[in-house]
Chains A and B, each alone.
Chain A
């Protein structure tokens, strides 16, 4: 399992995968090697042109039983200095067991397929770093034509005739347990944690909860800690039956150096500072998403991902059901939303 965090401004920073044995052993065991054992660099043949499809189907749930569907497909290629990375003109279709189908339309990547995370920081500008290298396809449908628990199929046909396919079973729906909120908003007392609980969603391999926390610099003013304007953190509950997570204390586990330093995470261990707020998503994710996110075996040339898109390319076809909340850290007041629930230290 992995987690990530990121500040909204500045260039993207490296996100570490957590594998404790690997990290330490690589450091220890390769230390003698790095002292002068590099092999001569040789030129090799061009890499194979492989289409990478990253496709996510998400059903948003709300308390009234209404659903909406969001699907994006980001298509790109194996890296090469000799060819384009985009995959324009593709036909992308997701169909369900109920014969409903959704066709994805081409869209600009920025803010649609790729999160609008980055405000250029002149000091850290890096012209060589290309973020948006692929092609974006997207569809949003409300109410969702697919139901939680339904099996859906993916078909992608690229202009040169290559076809990619995938299959996923959407995880079941879930509900919060013991949560009080109003229009998706609730409150926790300053410097406290709240443990979210929810019902089991069959077919879930992992519950991912991620959040953007805002207002930390103001909330922590006067304290000797560096806090970004916005902080992205993730937390996990692993397996269908692991249905609780402590907010914000159990978020950002593996994110040291990614905008959240150790001091900041220690403060968040004790709760959300007063005045800060957070948008928090809770997603029940399927096998395909987990396999792609956590990686496979070891290869020295790079990370390995376990695909769920097959045919003339690779990638993942993930599905999820999710709920989103806004949480503010504030004392009781006339305009404050209701308390999410009892605090937990």
Chain B
């Protein structure tokens, strides 16, 4: 380790430790009441409302919400008699008179279940998280889709956590055939996708069409699209977190068959004596397996050349002290093998897939403080072989991360969160054929980051967050980079804290790029790290918004948010790369984006759902790699995901007379840009051995202004119907999903044929009217 690097690591560690110190002294000086809310079987309860008021005056009540470890805290209380109540819908109320004296005191709260509709519980859990974020986060923009909504959103063939984010504000997709998405003008490679705490690269099956995430394993999907506090790093555009559902500890099975695959998920808990021996008061786990099946029944007659498999698991255990141990794992493969099929036009063998594992230990400390330690490893590999021509294209990326965070509450109105992380990333991309190496990119890098952020409630009307993050990046080739990223957010509560306006600003950085040509809306990402071959991305962002809960029982939520982002160091494939230069595979550019997102959600009532309306304008500026001169001139153009206006309406309603759960999605979006060809010409090819041109029957195109034309607006209506039948042994749920109900031919590509007379334009559309069916069982 070089001295300079060691010094930076020490600096980060000292930053981490210094931010922890103030709380130690403050801790001992306050009159505080902390509590932990748990269920009867020992699991923590998040989002319970804890309220305390002097016994003599109930009008002076203050309240807070329990965190994900079940903790809540009241500080700076005057000594005296108080009444403490803790409530959570679906659970019995806790109410006790407590005597607060000088110094800290702690209370254990156990809430027991009461008879309540299960669906209501689910909604309430989601509402609690939304309300908690509203109350306790100043700037971050988060949209959440919980498991129930996930299955009712109509999607292609089977519920898909990744495709579901298409319906959220600020999210743009360019093709029905690709699960890649863009958020608020960011490139697709600027989205961090996490399975719990573990990053997943290229999380797609079947050539980018389906995500690798099994919906039966998912508790919720959260898209963080802006205003990230200092603890977030690694990507500049968005963070999508797929949170696994470890179940409730009771044994159960969820299984399903779709037109694509069969799947099964099993949940349960460790035997009590085993859990006790390990020191746990409660455990729960869930594991799933999925496989496409079309190749199996066809086996006697034909070798179907494709199948996918994936395995996923999550385990969670709790100690008596309220600490949590959690593991998550995933492994999946797609295999395409056409090499054994006679007369195949593309004799290939191709496999790709992910392996990921992560573990975390969240240690519960006094006063609601906690410390979390996480380790994760994730890799993606792909190998595409053309055996007949001795050619192979392979790509791979892997990342190992260790991270520690500590959160403290030195005073009632203040909390601190600090952390450090160390990450090693490596990639290896190669194309070798017939003795020639056409592509040989490999490298690795070490990222060390530290952050500290303060969270301050000066009074009930204001919430302020301020923090700083330092990212140090050391690639194996190229210069080291240090990015200092300040973050700030402020929220002003209005209407009894049911409404708020907020402002968030910050700097974000990332050190990884995909070399996939975004103008080709299919395919897998091929990753490359910042360093000699690619720049780092630095993005400054600001957003201003207003949001409110309203209506009976706060059943409505609405937010309106405007934003501006710039991106320095975005990368594009350099089609004119010099084979003698190992560092110019990508060209660095910049861009910016601004827009407005409106989100209206109704989560109670016969009809629930949300409306997303997004306006976006984004541009990119790059050296024009399509001009073979040096230096390349710069051009500015809208990228292919510059959809200026988009509306998504997602509704869910139970039709009482049939017991049908219906989901509807209506989408409208203005046209995406494309580069129109001005003409086509015959291609010839130099033959040096004859000193003349050879003739081919391919044509090439002369291009017009880059992305200077736009496809027509797109619109589509999707529908899903689910019918759950309860049997003595469990439930069975047949479902049907119809994509593109009225068969709108939304344009995927135009093909211009200038050789015909008169010249014509043809094209292909995206997914036509497509009904699919499936069935799920649970017991």
Sorted nearest first, the 10 A-B pairs with minimum C-beta distance are A81-B757, A78-B679, A47-B679, A253-B434, A47-B754, A239-B579, A281-B689, A300-B749, A29-B522, A302-B701
Given the known interface contacts A79-B681, A250-B435, the answer about A33 and B764 at a Cβ–Cβ threshold of 8 Å is yes
Tell which of B384, B626, B679, B762 has the most Cβ of chain A within 10 Å. B679
- Report if B40 contacts A (CB, 8 A): no
- Whether B684 is near chain A, meaning CB under 8 Å from some CB there, is yes
Across the interface, which residues of B come within 8 angstroms of A293, CB to CB?
A: 685-686
Q: Is B697's CB under 8 angstroms from A12's CB? A: yes
Inter-chain pairs besides A21-B523, A300-B750, 12 sampled, C-beta below 8 Å: A22-B523, A28-B336, A29-B523, A34-B764, A42-B761, A74-B684, A115-B692, A211-B689, A232-B694, A290-B579, A306-B627, A324-B689
State the CA gap A26–B523 with chains docked (Å).
9
* A76 and B689 in contact, given A237-B436, A240-B580 (Cβ under 8 angstroms): no
Interchain CB contact (< 8 A) of B694 among A117, A245, A296: A117
Q: Is A199's CB within 8 Å of the partner chain B? A: no
Interface bits B749-768 vs A (CB < 8 Å: 1, else 0): 11110111111111111111
A79 touches B682 (CB 8 A): yes
Closest to A255 in B: B389
Contacts of A38 in B (CB 8 A): 762-765
Complex Cα spacing A56 to B102, Å: 91
Residues of B within 8 A of A (CB): 177-178, 206-209, 336, 345-346, 348, 350, 384, 386, 388-391, 393, 431, 433-438, 517, 519-520, 522-524, 526, 573, 575-576, 578-580, 625-629, 675, 677-703, 745, 747-752, 754-768
Per-residue CB contact flags for chain A residues 30-49 toward chain B (1 = under 8 Å, else 0) read 10111011110111111111
Closest residue of chain A to B350, judged by CB? A24
Whether the pair A81, B756 counts as a contact (CB closer than 8 A) is: yes
Partner-contacting stretch, out of A151-159, A177-185, A202-210: A202-210
Contact A256 B388 (CB under 8 A): yes
- 29 pairs, CB–CB < 8 Å, chain A vs chain B: A13-B697, A25-B522, A29-B207, A33-B748, A39-B762, A41-B762, A44-B759, A45-B759, A46-B759, A47-B677, A47-B679, A47-B680, A70-B691, A81-B759, A129-B697, A131-B695, A205-B578, A210-B689, A240-B579, A281-B688, A282-B688, A295-B575, A295-B700, A301-B680, A301-B752, A302-B701, A310-B627, A316-B628, A322-B688
Report the minimum CB–CB distance from B466 to chain A (whole Å). 43
Q: How far is the CB of B457 from chain A (nearest CB, A)?
A: 51
Q: Which of A21, A118, A250, A306 has the most CB of B within 10 A?
A: A21
Which of these binds chain B: A97-105, A106-114, A142-150, A328-336?
Answer: A106-114
Query: Which of the residues B436, B758, B763 comes within 8 Å of A43, measured between beta carbons?
Result: B758
CA separation between A45 and B758, bound complex, in Å? Answer: 8
Q: How near does chain A come to B345, taking the closest CB pair, in angstroms?
A: 8
Q: Are A50 and B679 in contact (CB under 8 A)?
A: yes
Tell me the minimal C-beta distance from A265 to chain B in angstroms: 8
- A309 CB to closest chain B CB (Å) equals 9
Least Cβ–Cβ distance between A111 and chain B, in angstroms: 7
Nearest chain B residue, comparing its CB with the CB of A16:
B698
Contact of A246 among B435, B758, B761 (CB under 8 A): B435
Assess whether A78 is in contact with B697, with CB atoms less than 8 Å apart. Answer: no
Chain B residues near A256: list those with CB within 8 A. Answer: 388-389
User: A49 to chain B: which residues have CB within 8 Å?
Assistant: 679
Q: Of A43, A239, A297, which one neighbours B573 at CB under 8 angstroms?
A: A297
The answer to whether B678 touches A50 (Cβ under 8 A) is: yes
Q: What distance in Å separates the Cβ of A132 from its nearest Cβ neighbour in chain B? A: 8
How many Å lie between the Cα of A294 and that of B765 in the bound state? Answer: 29
Q: Counting chain A CB atoms within 10 Å of each CB, which of B209, B390, B700, B764 scores highest?
A: B700
**Chain B residue at smallest Cβ distance from A54:** B684
Interface flag for A133 (CB, 8 Å): yes
Contact A306 B688 (CB under 8 A): no
A314 lies within 8 A of B691 (CB): no
CA–CA, A29 to B764, complex, Å?
12
Chain A residues, CB < 8 A from B389: 253-254, 256, 262, 265
Instruction: Using CB atoms, name the residue of chain A closest to B762.
Output: A41
Q: In the docked arrangement, what's the CA distance between A17 and B627, Å?
A: 20
Question: For the complex, what is the distance from the CA of A150 to the CA of B206, rounded to whole Å?
Answer: 51
Task: Mark out the residues of chain A between 254 and 297 whose CB falls within 8 Å of any chain B CB in the assembled complex.
Answer: 254, 256, 262, 265, 279-283, 287-297
CB distance from B297 to the nearest CB of A (A): 20
Contact partner, B209, options A29, A76, A291, Cβ 8 Å: A29
Residues of A within 8 A of B517 (CB): 297-298
A209-251: CB near B (< 8 Å → 1, else 0) gives: 0111000000000000000000010011111111001100110
Which residue of A is nearest B209, CB measured? A29
Name the interface residues of A3-20: CB closer than 8 Å to any CB of B. Answer: 4, 6, 12-15, 17-18, 20
Classify chain A: how many residues form its interface, as a range: 35 or more
A77 to B681, CA, bound (A): 7
Chain A hits for B522, CB < 8 A: 25-26, 28-29
Q: Determine the chain B residues whose CB is within 8 A of the CB of A23 once the complex forms.
A: 346
Inter-subunit contact B760/A43 (CB<8 Å): yes
A141 on the B face (CB < 8 A) = no
CA distance A295 to B577 in the complex (A): 11
User: Would you give the shortest CB distance from A317 to chain B, in whole angstroms?
Assistant: 9
Query: In the bound complex, do residue A48 and residue B435 qualify as a contact, i.e. CB atoms below 8 Å apart?
Result: no
Tell me the bound Cα distance from A288 to B677 in angstroms: 22
- Min CB distance B678 to A, Å, is 4
Known A76-B682, A279-B689; judge A43-B759 contact (CB<8 A).
yes
CB <8 Å contact, A287 and B628: yes
B244 to chain A, nearest CB (A): 29
Is A1 engaged at the interface, CB distance under 8 Å to the other chain?
yes
Residues of B within 8 A of A211 (CB): 689
Report yes or no: A22 in contact with B520, Cβ–Cβ below 8 A.
yes
User: A residues within 8 A CB of B747?
Assistant: 39
Q: Measured between alpha carbons, how far is A48 from B701 in the docked complex, in Å? A: 11
Q: A77-B681, A81-B755, A205-B578 are in contact. Are A299 and B675 (CB under 8 A)?
A: yes
Distance between Cα atoms of A310 and B682 in the complex (Å): 18
List residues of chain B with CB within 8 A of the CB of A84: none
Residue among A1, A39, A280 making CB contact with B765, cutoff 8 Å: A39
Q: Digitize A44-66: 1 where CB-to-B-CB distance is under 8 Å, 0 elsewhere.
A: 11111110101010100000000
- Whether the Cβ atoms of A74 and B759 lie closer than 8 Å is no
B696–A4 touching, CB < 8 Å = yes
Q: Give complex CA distance A43, B758 in Å.
A: 6
The interface residues of chain B lying within 8 Å CB-to-CB of A302 are: 677, 680, 698-701
Chain B residues, Cβ within 8 Å of A299:
519, 675, 677, 701, 703
**Known A29-B207, A37-B768, A238-B579; contact A44-B431, beta-carbon cutoff 8 A:** no
Question: Complex formed: what's the CA distance from A317 to B520 in Å?
Answer: 28
A44 engages B761 (CB within 8 Å): yes
Contact of B693 among A6, A27, A113 (CB under 8 A): A113
Closest partner residue, chain B, to A35 (CB atom): B768
- Which residue, of B384, B628, B687, B766, has the highest number of chain A Cβ atoms within 10 A? B628
A81 to B346, CA, bound (A): 34
CA distance A210 to B520 in the complex (A): 32
Instruction: Please tell me if A190 contacts chain B, counting CB pairs below 8 Å.
Output: no
Q: How far is the CB of A85 from chain B (nearest CB, A)?
A: 8
Instruction: Find chain B residues with CB under 8 A from A67 CB.
Output: none
A308 within 8 A of B: yes
Q: How far is the CB of A157 from chain B (nearest CB, A)?
A: 20
User: What residues of A have a CB within 8 angstroms of the CB of B207 in the complex?
Assistant: 25, 28-29
Residue of A nearest to B689 (CB): A281
Contact B697 A14, beta carbon cutoff 8 Å: yes
B690 and A287 contacting across the interface, CB-CB below 8 Å: no
For the complex, give the distance between the alpha carbons of A29 and B757 in Å. Answer: 31
Distance in angstroms between the alpha carbons of A288 and B629 in the assembled complex: 9
| B761 proximity list for chain A (CB < 8 A) | 41-44
Bound-complex Cα distance A52 to B683 (A):
10
Residues of B within 8 A of A249 (CB): 435
The answer to whether B437 and A306 touch across the interface, beta carbons within 8 angstroms, is no
B384 and A21 contacting across the interface, CB-CB below 8 Å: yes
Given contacts A37-B764, A288-B628, contact A79 B391 (CB under 8 A): no
- Rounded to whole Å, the gap between the CB of B741 and the closest CB of chain A is 16
In the complex, the answer to whether B625 meets A306 with C-beta atoms within 8 Å is: yes
